[in-house]
Every structure is written in structure tokens, then in C-alpha cells.
Structure 1
């Protein structure tokens, strides 16, 4: 079970990604918001200089034609985390029936900022 959360603040075509662990908030970076057909089709390629891309709405993604691994944060309609996947390899496909949107980030971003590691440590202690 994920014990941290995300806050997304939209600014037109971009959004700020803030991760929250207990009372601590950390800005991770800007996301390209992919809501229209063209940006959704481009997916990861639509992000430009942004850290990642937020596909909304989205229940499935593919990593065909990608050259690098990515991290995924799956969100429900209330923007609550329903699932996290790290180091998703190229040439794969993912689907979440319980998700409304997904955030794609470069592999290792969550671990670099300590969010995924804190979750794994908590699971090991239980």
C-alpha cells in the first residue's frame, strides 16, 4: 500500500508535480499535460523539457519505440495513487482498470527523491 501521495497543480499545458510523505512536500518538477489526442498519441515524446508527462484520462500505456525505462504513477479520479511501477522496460504494455490517469517519469526519479524507497522500507518492516 502506497503511504505517500501526489499533488498536481495545473498551469495550462503544464502541471507541477509535488510528492507528499507524511507532512513533507517536495516539488519534483513540471509535467506536460497530455489531454488532447495529439499529445496523448505522442505521450512521452510530448514532454519536451518537462520532467515527465501526465496522460489524463488514461488507463493504458505502451513503451514501444521508447529507448529508456520509465516510472509510472497511476491515479484514480480523485488523483490518489492506486499503483506505482518503477523501471518499466521499453516494448511493454500496461493497463490499470482502477486508474483514471497516469504520470510517466524517467526511471529512478521516485527512488532518487526517496519516495519509492520509503515505501519499500515500510513494506519490509511489516
Structure 2
């Protein structure tokens, strides 16, 4: 997995906005984060909410542009290309490692 991180306020606010669609095996780690928006996005994305111990709390597949998603228990969010979470076989309860 090729990780990119967004940990500053503006980096978290932007996420994938204005960037090309992520490729296979590419993911954005956004932390701290409990909610994402796709306002202004040109494509849907998979959104994975992650808890403090790296456990997947919620997966929102193919979140379309101009939508919101949240998980109040989340510590971080992973943004991926549409269908990537399923391709990786990720399920709620699985653990994912923090990049780096």
C-alpha cells in the first residue's frame, strides 16, 4: 500500500479534493478525522473510518460527490479509489496499520 498522509488542518480539509483519482494500492490517511465531505469532487471514493487501535469501524463504499459521511468514534479516515476497500478485502473489525 502506498500511503499519503494529511495531518495538518488544511491537508485534512482538502484530502483528495482537486487531486487525480487515487490508483490501486494508493490511500490517503487523514488524522485526526471523524467526518469527510466530497464537495467539489469529480469522482466517488471509498471511505474507511478507523478507531484508535487501528480497527475499521465503518466502510462507506463509493461515496458520491457532494455527500458527507461520519463516524463519531473514528480517530482517522482512509480515502481510497472506489472499490479499493472491497478489492483489499477490508471488513468492519479488521485492523489496518498506520502508514509510516
Same fold (TM over 0.5): yes
| TM-score, length-scaled by structure 2 | 0.76
Output the CA distance in 2 between the equivalents of 1:78 and 1:46.
Answer: 30
Higher relative contact order (CA closer than 8 Å, sequence separation 6+): 2
Please tell me the root mean square deviation across aligned C-alpha atoms, in Å: 2.1
State the 4+ residue runs in structure 1 displaced beyond 2 angstroms: 45-50, 110-113
Give the gaps of 5 or more residues in structure 1.
Answer: 1-28, 120-126
Larger radius of gyration: 1
More helix by share: 1
What TM-score, normalized to structure 1?
A: 0.62
* Unmatched segments (≥5 aa) in structure 2: 92-100
Alignment correspondent of 2:35: 60
2:8 paired residue number: 36
Higher strand share: 1
Task: Identify the residue that residue 78 of structure 1 maps to in structure 2.
Answer: 53
Question: Where do 1:1-126 residues align within 5 Å?
Answer: 29-45=1-17, 51-113=26-88, 115=89
Bigger Cα displacement from structure 2, 30-39 vs 47-56: 47-56
SS at match of 1:77: coil
Residue-pair matches, total: 88
Instruction: Pick closer, same or farther for the CA change 1:93–1:53 going to 2, 3 Å.
Output: same
Instruction: Give deviations 1:41-76, integer Å, cap 9, x for gaps.
Output: 221148777722111000011000001111111111
